[in-house]
Chains A and B, each alone.
Chain A
């Protein structure tokens, strides 16, 4: 048996969060705690970007909550002067679900890593995504276990030599974006720690999205996995390695042609049913017809998934970056609150009197 669920309508991710009356600065968002990541860690850049971006969001600082699990990146909440909880390994999405469901007036953020979100906490991640709880999940993917000193992670390339895998790791890695799309994610994006502009743009879109926004951030760990994203960062290789996804734009990249446009692009692959990279020169006149135009709003996730498969799961020589998917879908927390609201409206009156009626219900008898 099913029933039509009440949904209060589509809104921005922060619509019910009160706005700040005054302009804010990044400094206000900086806590008094000393930041303790290793020198050169990619986490610094993300922290700076977030501290720089939150004032632009214009929300009251006391209505922002950051929840993390365990891992290097999970120290994040301590460094932000908002409300926060550094919880236990893998469980941040479940704790954030409780917060987001209990309070419509909070902007809820989860900071997690590849081990935290995809290994020990995999179950909570996929269920948060399918429920579409209104929160933003920042997954810092450094493709290694940093805090426990360098074991391979669920996103490490197969064959990786680490302390726990002296003859090479045997696990096939997850592609976090493919996983999020498969788990019915309504907002799925990927960005890079070193590209502050792109990172900030993706964070803005993620915060504006109502539902679970999933953002994979490629984050360099110079201590245990240095250079994991070099191909995407090196000025000599990045044009060929990054496949930029911009809604409404043709997906082209690679060395620019005379018009400054990429000479490579994505087209459908009739053999695999997926998409493939081609030299646009090979398409001749068919470029216009065959070059894919990115549609993040496509209700069908098939194309987004196909694009996500272009991510090189070994040494990252190629990876699509940007917002893969951004679609509207009712959120768990809005609907849960709507059910409570509906029930309350149907039973007006004093709670105490209603409690007396509740416990005094059923077959009763009186002894005098």
Chain B
């Protein structure tokens, strides 16, 4: 489909669209399709799905609203955006629930069909806001509102397929997608192909969805309602082949890759839990790679079976979220004591207790670090973006196998469901992992073999031998009781216990030897002016912190950024790097857990920027927090609205261009 003559085309550098509707309106699918189209088009993008924990929350109510935000741009971007430029609202509740997030001037495309007295009441509207558009007291006066009967037009468009009115109306999300696809010049073939596949077995539904999608496109192109079409050029990206990927999918692929790169069968023991279940679902599809998935009777059995499989020589994994980690703690301690490889995936969600199952948080760091009885250290790895979940998972496998230890992989709900373009790695570039199984020792001259020592250690890694059953001469017993050094026999000896506690800690500390130097993003270090403030983060806050840092730099100030993948042990150079700066800001989606570790370890006066709203940090707010510290450190007034580099890249630019274009 081509751009029709007569419509105006405006260039934009980036747009944030939020699709919002009732849980049953298919907003996640709509957003996902728009994302795929944008990815194929070549924009850089970041997404933020947001949905209720209830599978079928009460229809038409505020708690039942589900939304999907996609930020796409002609340049490299880091976040799903603080505030949407465009809101697509499928019912009154979706309008009401999202209005507060819109900046003045944002565009709203609203489906008038569901603005009935009943639905308005459910959403808490006394009167229909669409009735007073343009009046003096128009509550939507600050926005550019396009009130369109999307549902009605959808029903009309799919009439020929003879569906019930209800089924016909269901295709309204595809009508909306078609309209937005037209508006932003998205390629349509991927969605048509997708619909053909998805509904291959139900011809009428398939045809109705495709028809609705095309009708939405044509509506934009032919009517007067929308006079401008927008163009967001592809973003320059490093050469390579890309795909759009969510964190959970990338993490599952990383685990499959861990099996391939180590030559080991993968065993996943897991119990379903939001937001980690998709990893179990995905891995269960990959039996052809020698992946066994075991859906256990509970969280404890999930990790128990994984520990058994590890003892038996598999690359063992257990996946869960925070509440599951709490249940698995004792078993993870067993893996620490028995020194068996194990990858423990915690897709963090809002807590404590059941908390906010579908929302994101980073509040399990200290649980990962200390949440076991006794001195039970284990390495912690955290991915920074959806695509990075692949590399982080592979890294967790490497550490687990090389050092014979459980490893905690801390993802979160934002990474799990969010997506970004991912450059597909060349397999030759992936690390190989050597299981290095124990072999029977050489025979003594008298024909006997010296006894196997299950707790002798590799001098470099301090790892003990991994000796799965089936090898004669290596028969041995391990368990949760304290082990004697070298022999692994039960030992209650005080000096031995002290030695073993220290040895287990030393082994985890030793992992730092295998880590690359930290990347310090500090352009000002080059010119000798040196930033006085560094922003230190971990996990999924990479995007918002990076975007905040860009804003600060764009306004002409200096700030450095360091982002941690390894939370335990910390990279060797971290202390020295932090010492270079006067102020250390640690933005986190918790009440200061990394801050606490940094303060304890390096005696650095880390300042936290902490939000626990179940949502990603906002770049603008992180920028404010950085500005505040710069002002203290440099004794200057900081004005972030200044633009010191007008020609520079613009993640920090506001959405003004978009807004004025749409109004």
Which A residues contact B (CB, under 8 angstroms)? 31, 33, 60-65, 67-68, 70, 77-78, 81-89, 91, 94-103, 105-106, 123-124, 127, 336-337, 339-340, 342-344, 346-347, 351-352, 354-356, 358-368
Q: Which of A77, A97, A351 contacts B289 (CB 8 A)?
A: A351
Nearest-Cβ distance from residue B342 to partner chain A, whole angstroms: 11
Residue contact B267 to A102, C-beta cutoff 8 Å = yes
Q: Which residues from A are CB-within-8-Å of B239?
A: 367-368
Contact B241 A94, beta carbon cutoff 8 Å: no
Chain B residues near A31: list those with CB within 8 A. Answer: 477
Q: Which residues of B contact A (CB under 8 A)?
A: 36, 39-40, 42, 190, 237-245, 253, 256-257, 260, 265, 267, 269, 286-292, 294, 296-298, 300-302, 304-314, 316, 330-331, 333-334, 338, 390, 424-425, 427, 468-481, 489-490
A83 smallest CB distance to B (angstroms): 4
- Asked whether, in the complex, the Cβ of B40 is within 8 Å of the Cβ of A365, the reply is yes
Min distance, Cβ A40 to any Cβ of chain B, angstroms = 22
Find out whether the CB atom of B311 lies under 8 angstroms from the CB atom of A354. no
Q: Which residue of chain B is the closest to A77 with respect to CB atoms?
A: B477
Q: Which residues of B contact A354 (CB under 8 A)?
A: 288-289
Q: Contact check: which of B306, B314, B390, B424 meets A360 at CB < 8 Å?
A: B424
Measured CB to CB, the closest approach of chain A to B329, in angstroms, equals 11
Q: Which of B289, B301, B310, B330 has the most A CB atoms < 10 Å from its CB?
A: B301
Rounded to whole angstroms, the CA-CA distance of A95 and B297 in the bound complex is 13
B479 A91 Cβ-Cβ under 8 A: no
- 12 example contacts (A-B, Cβ-Cβ < 8 A) are as follows A84-B479, A95-B307, A97-B296, A98-B308, A99-B311, A101-B267, A351-B290, A355-B427, A356-B427, A359-B425, A362-B245, A365-B242
B298 to chain A, nearest CB (A): 6
Which A residues are CB-close (under 8 A) to B309?
Answer: 98-99, 101-102
B288 A102 Cβ-Cβ under 8 A: no
* Cross-interface CB contact of A99 among B265, B290, B297, B308, cutoff 8 Å: B308
Q: Which residues of B contact A98 (CB under 8 A)?
A: 267, 269, 294, 304-312, 314, 316
Known interface pairs A78-B479, A336-B294, A365-B39; 12 further A-B residue pairs with C-beta atoms within 8 A, sorted by A's residue number:
A31-B477, A83-B475, A85-B308, A94-B302, A94-B305, A98-B314, A103-B469, A339-B287, A340-B290, A344-B288, A363-B39, A367-B42
Residues of A within 8 A of B237 (CB): 367
Are B288 and A83 interface neighbours, CB within 8 A?
Answer: no
Chain B hits for A91, CB < 8 A: 300-301, 304, 331
Quick check: B475 and A61 within 8 Å, CB to CB?
Answer: yes
Residues of A within 8 A of B468 (CB): 103
What 4 A-B pairs have minimum CB-CB distances, sorted nearest first? A98-B308, A86-B479, A94-B304, A98-B305
Q: Which residues of B contact A368 (CB under 8 A)?
A: 239
| Known contacts A62-B469, A87-B480, A340-B292; is-contact A366 B242 (Cβ 8 Å) | yes
| CB pair B334 A87 closer than 8 Å | yes
Contacts of A78 on B, CB cut-off 8 Å?
A: 477, 479, 490
**Alpha-carbon gap, A124 to B297, bound state (A):** 7
Q: Which residue of A lies closest to B337 (CB)?
A: A88
**Alpha-carbon gap, A313 to B473, bound state (A):** 46
Instruction: Tell me the complex Cα distance, A361–B285, Å.
Output: 14
A98-B312, A364-B242 are contacts. A33–B292 as well, Cβ < 8 Å? Answer: no
Decide: A365 and B241 in contact? CB cutoff 8 A: yes
A325 to B120: give the CA distance in the assembly, Å.
Answer: 64
Measured between alpha carbons, how far is A354 from B543 in the docked complex, in Å?
Answer: 32
Asked if B477 contacts A367 (CB within 8 A), the reply is: no
Output the least CB separation between A27 and chain B (Å): 14
B41 smallest CB distance to A (angstroms): 8
A18 CB, nearest partner CB in chain B, Å = 8
The distance in angstroms between the C-alpha atoms of A248 and B133, with both chains bound, is 88
Contacts of B424 in A (CB 8 A): 359-360, 364
Bound together, the chains give a CA A97 to CA B330 distance in angstroms of 18
Quote the shortest CB–CB distance from B2 to chain A (angstroms).
20
Residues of chain A contacted by B243 (CB below 8 angstroms): 360-365
Which residue on A lies nearest to B338, using beta carbons?
A: A85
A190–B92 Cα gap in the complex (Å)? 66
Chain B residues near A94 (CB, 8 Å)? Answer: 269, 296-297, 300-302, 304-305, 308
Given contacts A88-B330, A123-B301, contact A363 B481 (CB under 8 A): no
Contact in complex: A85, B296 (CB < 8 Å) = no
A127 to B300, CA, bound (A): 13
Q: Which residues of B contact A105 (CB under 8 A)?
A: 470
Query: Which of A86, A99, A367 is close to B480, meaning CB atoms less than 8 Å apart?
Result: A86
Kindly list chain B residues whose C-beta atoms are within 8 Å of the C-beta of A340.
287-288, 290-292
Q: Within 8 Å CB of B287, what residues of A?
A: 339-340, 342-344
A51→B148 CA distance, assembly (Å): 81
| Contact residue among A87, A123, A337, A343 (Cβ-Cβ distance under 8 Å from B298) | A123
Most A CB within 10 A of own CB, among B240, B297, B425: B297
CA–CA, A77 and B489, complex, Å: 12
Nearest CB of chain B from residue A212's CB, rounded to whole Å: 14
- Hey, which chain B residues are within 8 Å of A359, CB to CB? 253, 257, 390, 424-425
Q: Give bound CA distance, A268 to B308, whole Å.
A: 44
Of A81, A97, A346, A360, the residue contacting B308 (CB under 8 A) is A97
Given the known A-B contacts A347-B288, A352-B260, are A61 and B39 also in contact in the complex, defined by CB atoms under 8 Å? no
In angstroms, Cα B292 to Cα A343, docked, is 11
- B residues near A63, Cβ cutoff 8 Å: 469-470
Known: A98-B269, A336-B292, A354-B288. A62 touches B470 (CB 8 A): yes
Once the chains bind, are A360 and B241 in contact (CB under 8 Å)?
yes
Point out the residues of chain B lying under 8 angstroms from A339, CB to CB. Answer: 287
**Cα(A352)–Cα(B290), bound, Å:** 12
The distance from the CB of B88 to the nearest CB of chain A, in whole angstroms, is 22
In whole Å, how far is B614's beta carbon from the nearest beta carbon of chain A? 29
A2 to chain B, nearest CB (A): 16
Residue of A nearest to B307 (CB): A95
CA–CA, A363 and B309, complex, Å:
35
What residues on A are CB-neighbors of B470 within 8 Å? Answer: 62-63, 103, 105-106
Instruction: Determine the chain B residues whose CB is within 8 A of the CB of A85 once the complex forms.
Output: 308, 311, 338, 477-479
B483 to chain A, nearest CB (A): 11
Closest chain-B Cβ to A358's Cβ sits at a distance in Å of: 7
Shortest CB-to-CB span from B232 to chain A, Å, is: 15
Q: Are B260 and A101 in contact (CB under 8 A)?
A: no
Contacts A359-B257, A365-B42: A95 and B304 contacting too (C-beta < 8 A)? yes
Minimum CB distance partner of A340 in chain B? B287
Given contacts A94-B300, A124-B301, A343-B288, whether A99 and B312 have CB atoms under 8 Å apart is yes
**CA of A162 to CA of B6 in the docked complex: distance in angstroms?**
92
**Contact call B312/A367, Cβ cutoff below 8 A:** no
Instruction: Find out whether the CB atom of B305 lies under 8 angstroms from the CB atom of A95.
Output: yes
Name the A residues within 8 Å of B298 (CB-CB).
Answer: 123
Find out whether the CB atom of A102 lies under 8 angstroms from the CB atom of B265.
yes
Assess A363 versus B477: contact at CB under 8 Å? Given A94-B301, A102-B312: no
With both beta carbons as reference points, the residue of chain A lying nearest to B425 in the complex is identified as A359
In the bound complex, residues from chain B placing their C-beta under 8 Å from that of A336 are 292, 294
Q: How far is the CA of A67 from the CA of B479 in the complex (A)?
A: 9
Q: What is the CB-to-nearest-CB distance from B314 to chain A, in angstroms, rounded to a whole number?
A: 5
A33 contacts across to B, CB distance below 8 A: 489-490
CA distance A23 to B292 in the complex (A): 36
**B190 partner, pick from A352, A360, A363, beta carbons under 8 A:** A363
Using known A-B contacts A97-B294, A127-B301, determine if residue A352 contacts B427 with beta carbons closer than 8 Å: yes
CA distance A368 to B316 in the complex (A): 38
- Please give, as numbers and ranges, the residues of chain A lying within 8 Å of B256 by CB-CB distance: 355, 358
CA distance A366 to B234 in the complex (A): 12
B650 CB to closest chain A CB, in angstroms?
Answer: 20
Residue of A77, A87, A98, A339 ringed by the most chain B CB atoms within 10 A: A98
- Contact in complex: B241, A366 (CB < 8 Å): yes
Q: Chain A's nearest CB lies how many Å from the CB of B150?
A: 26
* Residues of B close to A342: CB separation below 8 A: 287
A83 touches which one: B238, B314, B334, B469 (CB < 8 A)? B469
Residues of chain A within 8 A (CB-CB) of B253 are 358-359
Q: How far is the CB of A254 from chain B (nearest CB, A)?
A: 42
A62 and B471 within 8 A (CB)? yes
